[in-house]
Amino acid sequence: MSCALDATHDPALTSWVESANAPDADFPIQNLPLGRFRRPGDSAWRLATAIGGQVLDLQAAGFVGHADMSLLLQQPAERQALRAALSAALAAGSPERTRLAPCLHAQSEVELGLPCDTRDYTDFYVGIHHATAVGKLFRPDNPLLPNYRWVPIGYHGRASTLIASGEPVYRPQGQVMAPGAARPELRATQRLDIELELGVIVGQPNLRGQAVRLGEAEAHIAGLTLLNDWSARDIQPWEYQPLGPFLSKNFATTLSPWIVTLEALAPFRRALQRPAEDPPSLDYLDSDANRQRGAFDITLEAWIDTPAMRAAGAPMHCLARSNFANAAYWTIAQLVTHHTVNGCALAAGDVLGTGTLSGPQPDQAGSLLELTQGGQQPITLPSGETRTFLQDGDRITLRAHASAPGARRIGFGACVGTVVERC
C-alpha cells in the first residue's frame, strides 16, 4: 500500500502553465491525472495529462509510446517515475517549457472521452449510509441485510454503455409493475435517478485463478474517476428479484475523463472508519495498513441545472455533498481483493464502481431516491421548480476534490450528463 510523499506533492510547487496555479484549479501540478483527448477532425485518441486548463499530449511530448493501455499497465514504480518526470518538466522555471509548449492544448478546444478502454464493469455497494437509507424505504424493520458487514456486495454491469462525460443520457424504458396492477407494462421510466460514485480503474491485470492479496491490491489500481450510475427506480424493483439489477441500470453510466492516480492522492489517505461494535473483516480482507491508511478524504458533490435555470442564466444548484472517507464501508483495496478471491481475472481498464457514496445526514444523500424519501418529499430548487426524479433536459454535474492541511487541493474535473427523451 503506497503512501509515500515526495517532491511532487510539495504544496509550494508551481507550474509555468499559469492556469494550474489558481487556488481552485482541479489540475495543479500536484495532480497530473491521466486521460485521453482528440483534436477536432482526429479519429484516434491520444494519451494526455491535465495541467490547469490545458492538456499535455504525452505522446507528442515523448513521455509515452503509442500503446493505448500503456499507462494503465505500468507498475507503480514506473507510474511514479512518469509523475516525477512530468512534475519536473512542468514546474516553474523548467528548461522544458520551450519544447513542451507546442504540445499543450486548451481543454475547451479538444474532445475529452472515456479515460481508457473498458472490457468489464462491476458496481459495488460500499456506501453504508446509502445502503441503510434505501433499506429503510423497503425494509423498515431490517434495513441492512446481515451479509453487508461481511462481504463487499456488487453486481456485474455493462461496459458497452459506459459513456463519456458530456454525452446525452437517453431516458430508458422497461417493464414497470404499478402498485395494485395485475400485469406489468412497458414504458419509459418516470423515476430516473442519479448515483454519486467513484470509479476504480484497474491497471495491472491478474491471471485467471490468481487471487490478489490485500497488500498487493493497490498495485493493480491505476486511480480513481467520478462515476454516475444512472438508475430507473420504477423498473428496478420489478426486475431485480432474484438476480439483481438489469435494464434499470445498464442503459448509461457516465465516467469523468481523468484518472486521478493513487500517487496524487497520497496526501489524502485516512483511516478506515467502522463502528466499534462491528465485527472484524475476514482475514483475507483485513490488515493493519488497510485499516490505518486504506480510505481517502475526497469531497463529492452532485449539482443540477434545469432548462428553466439555464434559460434564466441561473447557477447550478448543489443537490448533495458527501465524503468518500465517511461514506464507504469498504476500501478500494478490499474491492479488488474480494473481486479476485474466487479466481476472477481483472483486465487493464476494467471499472469498479463504488456504489452511491451518501453521508450520514439527509442532505448528504447521493441519490434522489434518498433525498426525496422515495419520491414522497419533492426537492424545491432555487428557481421554484420541484423535483422528485429527473425530467428531460435536466443536467447533472458531479464534482470532487481532495484537500488536507499541508497539501495542495486537487480535483477530479466534471462528470456531466443531460437527460434527453428516448429516441
Residues taking part in catalysis:
130
- In this structure, the number of other CB atoms found within 10 A of the CB of residue 275 comes to 8
The CA–CA distances, whole Å, from 222 to 45, 53, 337, 347 equal 19, 23, 15, 12
Bridge-partner residues for 106, per DSSP? 54
- In this structure, the number of other CB atoms found within 10 A of the CB of residue 182 comes to 6
Non-local CB neighbours of 81 within 8 Å, separated by 6+ positions: none
User: Among residues 302, 177, 354, which one has the least CA distance to residue 248?
Assistant: 177
CB 203 within 8 A of CB 218: no
Non-local CB neighbours of 400 within 8 Å, separated by 6+ positions: 198, 226, 298, 299, 300, 301, 411, 412
Q: Determine the Cα–Cα distance for residues 28 and 316; give it in Å rounded to an integer.
A: 24
Q: Determine the Cα–Cα distance for residues 220 and 75; give it in Å rounded to an integer.
A: 8
Q: Determine the Cα–Cα distance for residues 109 and 107; give it in Å rounded to an integer.
A: 5
As a three-state string, the secondary structure of 24-82 is CCCCCCCCCCEEEEECCCCCCCEEEEEECCEEEECCCCCCCCCCCCCCCCCCHHHHHHH
Non-local CB neighbours of 387 within 8 Å, separated by 6+ positions: 304, 306, 368, 372, 378, 379, 381, 394
Q: Which three cell numbers stand for residue 389?
A: 426524479
